[in-house]
Chains A and B, each alone.
Chain A
C-alpha cells in the first residue's frame, strides 16, 4: 500500500508541476488576465514540493520495513542490515537517488516561493516556472524510466543487500549533502532563466540569487570534503583525491559555483558583471546535471559507477540537451536585452574578482577537457586515459596563481584603487612565500616544485588572509568580512595539508609475522596479533598493531580485511591514528606463504588539514549565508525586544 501511495503522490506532484509551469510563465504575458493567475505559482510550488517529499518519505518507509515485494528494496537491501544502512540505502541506488534529487529540487522551489519577497513578481513567477520545467523532466524520467516503487512478484525471501563499499555511515550524509549542492544551483539557474525571460537582471536579482548560491556552495564544499575523506579511509589507497570522473563531476560545479559566488557579489554590491553572473549560473547547474549524467550513464568508467545504466543515460542526455541547450540559446538570444551594469577600473575589488573568475574558469576548462578527452579520443579511434599527472600539472599552477591573488585581492577597494595603497605586509608575505618556495626546492633534496610552492603560499596566505581584519574594530567588523576571512583562511589550511601530504608522506610496504616490528617515519609499529572478528553482516581478519611515536606510549590500531556475506565482497578497512601532527594510516593486506601478513603503512604529516580547511571554507560560506539572509539582524532585534 505504501508503494502505491508513493507512486500516486509522485504523479500528483508531476501534475502540479505542469500547473506551476503554466502559472509561472503566465506572469510574463502582457495580458492582464494571464498575469493575474501568476501568483498561483507560489502555492503550487509549495504543494508540489511537499508531495514529492511525502513520496520520498514513502520510499524511506519501504526501506526501513524491508518490504521485499518492492523491486528496488529487494535489489538493494537486506533484512540483516543495520537500520542506518536500511535508511540510507533508500538513496544508495539509482531510482532512490533520483527521487532524492527531485525532492531537493522541490524544497528549492518551496524556498523561492516562501521567502523571495524583494524581487519583481515577473522574475519570481518566471523563476518558479523554470524550476517547474526542470522538475517535470526529472518526474518524467522517474515515472517512465526508473520507477522506484515498482513491485516484484513473487516477493523474494531475502534481499540482495547493499554494496559493502556503501555500507558506511558516510552514505547517510554524502549523497544528500552533494545533492543539496547540485540542486541548490538549480535555483540559481532558474533565477538566471527567469531574469533573461523577464529581460531584467539588476542588483535585486543578484541579491535574490545569492542565498541559494551560498547554500549550494556550502553543501557542495561539505559534500566534496566528506567524499574525499570517505575515499581516503574507505578505499584504503591512502590518497585523498584521485581525479576520478565522478570526483571531477562534483568538482566542476563547485568551481563554477565558487566563481558564481564571487561574481554574484559584484552584481549585488556594484551592479557589475550582470551577463557574466547569469552565464555562470547557467554553467554551474549545467555542470551539476552533467555530473549526475556521468555517474549514471556508464559513459565513463569510475570507482563510483555503482549505478550504471546506458539506456537511462540516453533519457538523461536528452533532458540535459533540452535544459542546457535551451538555457544557453536563451542566453544567446536574450542577454542583449539585459542592460549592461556598472563599470570599474582594472585595479579594484571588481578587477580582482574578475581575475578570480577567469582563473577558476580556466581550471574548470582544464578539468572538463581532462574528464571528457578520453571520450573524444575514443570517438577519433584511439584510447587513452587522463590521470593525475595532467590535472596536477595543468591545474596546479593556476590554482596556486589563484592563491597568490588571494594575498591582495580582498584588500582592494570597490570601483578603483591603487596597488601602492595596499599594506606593505601583504606584498611582504607574497615575497616571502616566493622566496620560501625557491629555498625549499633548492635546499631540500628531491622536493617537487608544486608542493614546495603550495607550502610556501599556504603558509603566507594563512597570515595574509587575516589582513582584512586589521586597521578596524573587530567588534564592528561585518559578519560577511569575517565569513570571507574564515573561508580564505580555510583555503590556506587546506593547501598546507595538501602540500605537506604530497611532500612529506612516508610509505612502508612490508610483510610481517606476529611479534615483528617495522618503522614508518617517526613511528615504530609492531604486529601483535591476527584474529578473526565478526560483525552484523560480515566477518573479518583483524590485525592488531601497536604503534609508538618515537618510542613513546603505545596505541593500538586494528586494520581489517572484511568479507561481506550479502553480496559476497571483500573490502579492506584501513585503521587510522590521528595526531595533531598528522595521521598514521594502516592497511592489512593478504597473507603470504610463510605465515607473514602484508602491511601497508603511511605516515602523513598534517594530512588532516585538507579536510579541516574544507570545513573552514564551508563554515565561512555558512556564516556569510546567515549574515546575508539577515538572521543575525533578526536575532539581535528579537533579543532587544525580549530583553529591553
Chain B
C-alpha cells in the first residue's frame, strides 16, 4: 500500500504531462463561438430609422418567419460593399430587417437610395443601446434569427458573395 502511495506523485505528473503533450499535438481550434447562438433576442422596440419604412421590435422577429437582422450604418464604408449581397438574399426569399446604428433619417434615406433597400423594417438605434444588448461589436454584423426569435447564427463583418448560398439554405431550413 505504502509503495503504491509513493508512486502516486509520479502517476499524477505523468497524467498531466501526457495531457499537455496530447493537446500540444492536437490542432488548435481558435474559433470563438458566439454566446448568442440558441438564445432569444433581447427585448427591444426601435422607432423607424427613416420615413416610409416601419421600425423594428423584438416581437417582429417572433412571427414564425425566420429573419436576417442586419446591423448597419450609413456612415459605414464596408456596409456599402455588403448592400448588393443583402439585395441578392432578399431576391432569393430571405426576409432582411435592419438596425441603423447612430444614424439620422436623412443619411439613412440617402444611403438606401444610393445602395438599394433590401430591408422590410429598419429600427433606429441612436445610442447603440440595442447593439450593445445583443452583443454586436461593430458594423456591419448580421444575426440569423428563427421564427421564434431565437438567434441561430451571428455573422461578424461583411457577408461575402461566397456566404450567400449557405445563408439562403440555412434560412430555408429554419422555416
Chain A interfacial positions (CB closer than 8 Å to B): 279, 282-283, 286, 290, 293, 297-299, 310, 313-314, 317, 320-321, 324-325, 328-329, 331-332, 335-336, 372, 375-376, 378-379, 383, 593
Contact = CB atoms under 8 A, between A and B. Distances in A.
B69 to A, nearest CB: 23
B22 A328 contact: no
B16 A372 contact: yes
B90 interface: no
6 contacts: A314-B25, A325-B10, A331-B10, A372-B19, A378-B23, A379-B23
Contacts of B19: 372, 375-376, 379
Interface in B45-85: none
A597 to B, nearest CB: 17
B16 to A, nearest CB: 7
Contact of B17 (A279, A324, A329, A331): A324
Nearest to A294: B20
A593 B102 CA distance: 9
B163 interface: no
Contacts of B7: 329, 332
B24 A317 contact: yes
A312 to B, nearest CB: 10
A358 to B, nearest CB: 15
B114 interface: no
Contacts of A298: 28
Contacts of A383: 29, 33
Interface string B7-38: 10110011011011111111011000100000
B6 interface: yes
B21 to A, nearest CB: 6
A282 B29 CA distance: 34
A376 B22 CA distance: 10
Nearest to B30: A301
A336 B7 CA distance: 11
Contacts of A372: 16, 19-20
Looking at B6, B20, B102, the one whose CB has the most chain A CB atoms below 10 A away is B20
Interface of B: 2-3, 6-7, 9-10, 13-14, 16-17, 19-26, 28-29, 33, 102
A332 B23 contact: no
A375 B17 contact: no
Closest 7 CB pairs of A and B: A328-B10, A332-B7, A332-B6, A328-B9, A375-B23, A321-B17, A324-B13
Given A335-B6, A383-B29, A593-B102, A286 B20 contact: no
Contact of A379 (B14, B22, B102): B22
Q: Tell me if B's interface is mostly helix, strand, loop or mixed.
A: helix
Given A332-B6, A335-B6, A320 B17 contact: yes
A332 B9 contact: yes
Contacts of B20: 293, 297, 299, 317, 372, 375
A313 B102 contact: no
B14 A325 contact: yes
A276 to B, nearest CB: 11
Given A372-B19, A375-B23, A379-B22, 17 more contacts: A297-B20, A313-B24, A314-B21, A314-B24, A317-B17, A317-B21, A321-B21, A324-B13, A324-B17, A325-B10, A331-B6, A331-B10, A335-B6, A372-B20, A376-B19, A378-B29, A379-B19
Nearest to B4: A332
Could you say which of A290, A313, A325, A332 has the most chain B C-beta atoms within 10 Å of its C-beta? Answer: A332
A108 to B, nearest CB: 23
Contacts of B17: 317, 320-321, 324-325
Nearest to B32: A383
A279 B23 contact: no
B137 to A, nearest CB: 13
Contacts of B102: 593
Contacts of A328: 9-10, 13
A375 B9 CA distance: 20
A127 B14 CA distance: 24
A293 B29 CA distance: 20
Contacts of A336: 2-3, 6
Contacts of A283: 9
B35 to A, nearest CB: 12
B23 A299 contact: yes
Given A372-B16, A376-B19, A379-B19, A299 B9 contact: no
A595 B138 CA distance: 20
A405 to B, nearest CB: 25
Nearest to A336: B6
B74 to A, nearest CB: 13
B132 to A, nearest CB: 13
A307 to B, nearest CB: 16
Contacts of A376: 19
A593 B104 CA distance: 13
Given A325-B17, A372-B19, A379-B19, A297 B24 contact: yes
Contacts of A335: 6
Contacts of A313: 24
Of listed B2, B3, B13, B21, residue having the most chain A CB within 10 A: B13
A82 B47 CA distance: 55
Contacts of A324: 13, 17
Contact of A331 (B9, B25, B26, B28): B9
A615 B2 CA distance: 42
Contacts of B25: 314
Nearest to A320: B17
A298 B16 CA distance: 16
A332 B24 contact: no
A162 to B, nearest CB: 25
B9 A279 contact: yes
A568 to B, nearest CB: 20
Contacts of B10: 325, 328-329, 331-332
Nearest to B2: A336
Contacts of A299: 20, 23-24
Contacts of B3: 332, 336
Interface centre among A279, A299, A310, A335 (most CB of B within 10 A): A299
A325 B9 CA distance: 9
Nearest to B7: A332
A293 B23 CA distance: 13
Contacts of A329: 7, 10
A297 to B, nearest CB: 6
B53 to A, nearest CB: 24
Contacts of B6: 331-332, 335-336
